Structure formats: structure tokens, C-alpha cells
Structure 1
């Protein structure tokens, strides 16, 4: 009962925080005007330009927003929690309207040519505190991780997006993570779109072991058997999203994502004995787009 009460308090607090953020966005939304041809502001040109990349000068479109997700307490957990989620992307203004999947990292499309985009990507992975959840007792803390890398996405046809990301971790883990996804994008009626498709994630040993390995000291403290977690196929899954564009600036969306943990991750005693290999995330959010110019 103690853990149930604590979980309920965490859920209520996080839900109130996210509801407040979405309410603030909604208040702004009510007074938002249609998108203007004018840019919001202008930035000076950068002091230098990187070779092999197009000049950053020109107009850019920024998407920012906030969402909330009900997701596993930690990867492999059988219990859920509600968390706020930031939304951030940058693309060339005037390019094809950008589809954003709920699993996409924050990214900047420095290369935007026809149906192909590529650029840097960033993802923040929250720390995992062993004293927050009974299942993690004795396993020690894992610090927050910062994953830096890049993305590439391609539209072979207007209704299909293929995207891949490759990121290198720093902090809580120092391994490599690769995400691959495909989304079929279908307009239902004007401004209302539904999308769905498969997902796959691969993680190296250094990105897997801190979360799913159990060394001798941890085994003694936690009661779990020792386990050497190696990298490889991390998960396969499927996701679906429905989005509604209120006007050229504002969009709201809701989604569900399912993952099936694989390999050494699914076989970890943390998952097999205390958690679940089935991971489901349900979310909603709102985003706002505006333009700025670089001289």
C-alpha cells in the first residue's frame, strides 16, 4: 500500500505539472493569429561556416512545445508514471511541412534537399535512482545521460517517412544507440492526420550494461543473480499517432507506442523477475511553430 500511495502521489504531481503547461499553451493558442509571412526575429550570420554543409543563412522554422507521457517508470518496469516531455525541431522555412514522430530526438535539419533531411540530433535520458523504486533496491544509481549524434530521414513517397538516428552517450552510459522507424502518414480529413509504423532500436554493450547488468556487489545487495548484459537488438515495436493542425502555427497530437524488449535486455533478471519486456507509452502534446532568419 505504501508504494501504491507513493506512485499515486507522483502521478498526481506530474499530471498537474503537465496539465498546467498544456493549459498555458492553450491560453496562448486561443489568442494566436494565423501565421505571418514575416519572421519573428533575425540573427546575425555565424562567424564561420562548416565545409561540406550548406550555409545556415536564410529563413528557418522552429517547432517548440510540451507534452505529457504515461510510460514505464524505467525501461523494463511493469509499472507506469506520468512525465512532461519537451518538443523541439528546426528545419528550413518553406520546405515540405515536417512530420514529427513521438520517438524523434530533438533535431536540426541542416541538410534539407527535396525529400531528404539530415542533421544533428540530441536526446536526454533521465537518471535512474535506486531508492525511488523497490525493484531497483541494491542496484545503485545510474546518472543522467546525454546522447549526441545525427539523424537522416527520407520520403520515398509523400505518405511514407523513413528515419534513422545514431547517437553516442555521455554520462550515465557511454555507448552507442541506433533507432530506425517508418511511418505511413494518412490525412483523414482537412488538418487531421493519422500515422503508424514499425520501430527498431539497437544498443551497444556500454549503453546496455549500466541499466540491465548485475555485478557481484549488486547481486548481494539486491537479491538478484549476477548478470552480464551485452549489447545488440534492444527492442522492436509499433507506434501510432493522430494529429490535428489548428492553424499554420499550432498543432495538437496524441499517440501510443509499444516496445518489446529483446535479447540480453529481456533476459536481464531485473526485467524477468521484477519487470516486464512489454513496454507501452501513451502521450499527448501541443506544439507551436515560428520563423526566424539568419543573415
Structure 2
């Protein structure tokens, strides 16, 4: 059964508490922005259709500083070092299950916790680069990562627009879980045997928009497109049951706590 939470959403639930605890130690007043709404995401990597899942976000800022930019498609992370525009730290994500009924005759893939890290660099405004690498614990048991470059235009917290390219990469174990057809499954699935070797999985782009209507209320939306390439695109599983074009998007209402009247 597919998880009801997106990777970013579930990761927010895990790391948000730790982040808030660390922030509370600061002397300056903090503002907290919470976003909640629906999003449409592929049921599993390579799926043809989308499912509705919660779209949640959590941000903290000190005093009158603007909230730190975070793209909607990045994993939740806790920066351990943030100096001269460079930061890195742990990242966590989750991937939903692919059920037997989703792809007939091919082994299912269980719910996966993905633990790893991120590194990012803020070039001279408005460009930011970020890379992630996460290891699957259970489920697909493979490595999955993303490289992103974002152009960010903003007027402090009044509005923010971001857009940029994405490259998703994964190893052979990950791709064999979602895109492979084992020899022993040929008879039951009716698909030809296929053993992907890993590499670049998809290329695409992500765009986001955030606007404040009042100092407390606002709206946050994003849209993302990925195109499966190489072994993932050639997979018999994708050709029969899935789609090379992967779309996702979400819309949420935001509320900011700690705003001074």
C-alpha cells in the first residue's frame, strides 16, 4: 500500500521537531511559517497516474530575517554547517510502495525510508545549487539523489518565485527495483527480462511561487516535471504500465506565527 505522505512531507514531520528545538535556544524572537494543502504526485517512480497526498511545509526565521528558501521537491534537511553561502547536513526522505497489482507479475517494492545528506551553495543572489544523496532502508534498498539549480526572485517574504533544472540519479539496485524485470518474472508478467544498470534516471524542472496576502496568511504552490531517460525510459514496466513523463504539483495555504502586530 502506497504511503499517504510524500517524501518531503514525512521528512518534515521527522525533522521539524528537532529543528524547532534548536531554534528555541536562540535569544531573538522567532517566526514560524506552516503550510498545508494537497499535492498530486506519481504513485511510485515511473507510474502513469498521480495520487493526492498532503503537501506540508515548515519554516523558521529569526527576527525580521526572511525565511530561508527551500524548494518543494527537496528532502528535509538539518544544516550542520552554514558559512559563506555553503551548507551541508543530513537529509531524509520517504518513498511509497509499489504494489503487486500496480505491475502484474513483477515483485512489489515496499515503503522505503531514505537517509543521507545534502550540500548546497548560494551563489551571488539569486542562484542556488544543491545536491542530495540518500540510501534506501528497506523497500528499494538503493541509492537515489538529485542535483538542482534554482533561480530565486523575491521581495523578502512578500513574494517568492523560483525555477530551475533537475537531474535525478540512482544506482542499479534502485532502478532494478522500480524498472527491472527479473528473469524469473518473465513468465508471470509477460514482459521481457530487463536489468537496468543505474545512472541518470530523469531530467526535468521545478517551479514554485509563494505570496503573502497579509503578514500572517499566504499561499504556496509548486509544479514539477521529470522526463525519464536512459534505462528508466527503456524499461518494459514503464512502457506497459507507466509513463516517461512524470508530473507533480501542489497548493497550500500558509500561516505565520510570531508576527508582531
- Bin of the TM-score, shorter chain as denominator length: 0.7 to 0.9
1:267 to 225, 234, 238: 234
Distance 1:175 1:117, change over 3 A: same
Relative distance call for 1:241 and 1:124 in structure 2 (3 A) is same
| Aligned Cα root-mean-square deviation (Å) | 3.1
1:233 aligns with 200
User: Which residue number in structure 2 is paired with residue 85 of structure 1?
Assistant: 55
Secondary structure in 2 matching 1:58: coil
TM-score, normalisation: structure 1: 0.71
Aligned with 2:79 (options 109, 116, 125):
109
Deviations 1:236-287 (A, max 9, x none): 1011111113456654211110101111111110112332211111211244
In the TM superposition, 1:250-261 aligns within 5 A as 251-261=218-228
Which of 1 and 2 has greater Rg? 1
Distance 2:126 2:85 in 1: 11
Give the structure 1 partner of residue 12 of structure 2.
Answer: none
Q: Does 1:218 align with 2:188?
A: no
Give the unaligned 5+ runs of structure 1. 1-13, 15-41, 46-55
Measure, in 2, the Cα distance between the counterparts of 1:167 and 1:282.
22
2:33 equivalent to 1:58: no
Secondary structure of residue in 1 paired with 2:237:
helix
Q: 1:73 aligns with which of 18, 21, 43?
A: 43
User: Which residue is equivalent to 1:199?
Assistant: 166
Asked if the contact 2:221–2:250 (Cα under 8 Å) also holds between the matched residues in 1, the reply is yes
Runs of 4+ in 1 over 4 A off after TM superposition: 59-64, 88-96, 246-251, 287-291
Q: Provide the secondary structure at the position in 1 that maps to 2:53.
A: strand
- State yes or no: 1:208 paired with 2:168: no
Distance, in Å, in 2 between the alignment partners of 1:96 and 1:110 is 20
Give unmatched runs, 5+ long, in structure 2.
Answer: 5-19
Instruction: Give the distance between the partners of 2:91 and 2:216, measured in 1 at CA.
Output: 23
Secondary structure of residue in 2 paired with 1:224: coil
> Could you tell me which of 91, 99, 113 is aligned with 1:146?
113
Q: Could you say which residue in structure 1 is the equivalent of 2:137?
A: 170
- The answer to whether the 8 A contact 1:214-1:226 is kept is yes
| Residues 165, 200 of structure 1: alpha-carbon distance in 2 compared, 3 angstrom cutoff | same
Equivalent pairs, count: 239
1:10 corresponds in structure 2 to: none
Deviates more, 1:158-167 or 1:262-271: 158-167
Q: Provide Cα deviations, 1:33-83, integer angstroms capped at 9, x if missing partner.
A: xxxxxxxxx96x9xxxxxxxxxx9536776544332223332222222222
Change (3 A) 1:178 1:249: farther
Q: Distance in 2 between matches of 1:211 and 1:273?
A: 13
Aligned counterpart in structure 1 of residue 248 of structure 2, from 281, 285, 294 = 281
The 3-state SS of whatever aligns with 1:179 is: strand
Indicate how the Cα distance of structure 1 residues 86 and 184 shifts in structure 2: closer, same or farther if over 3 A, else same: same
- SS of corresponding position for 1:273: helix
TM-score (norm 2): 0.79
Question: 1:117-158, CA deviations, whole angstroms, 9 ceiling, x for partnerless residues?
Answer: 221110011111122x3xx11113211111111112221122
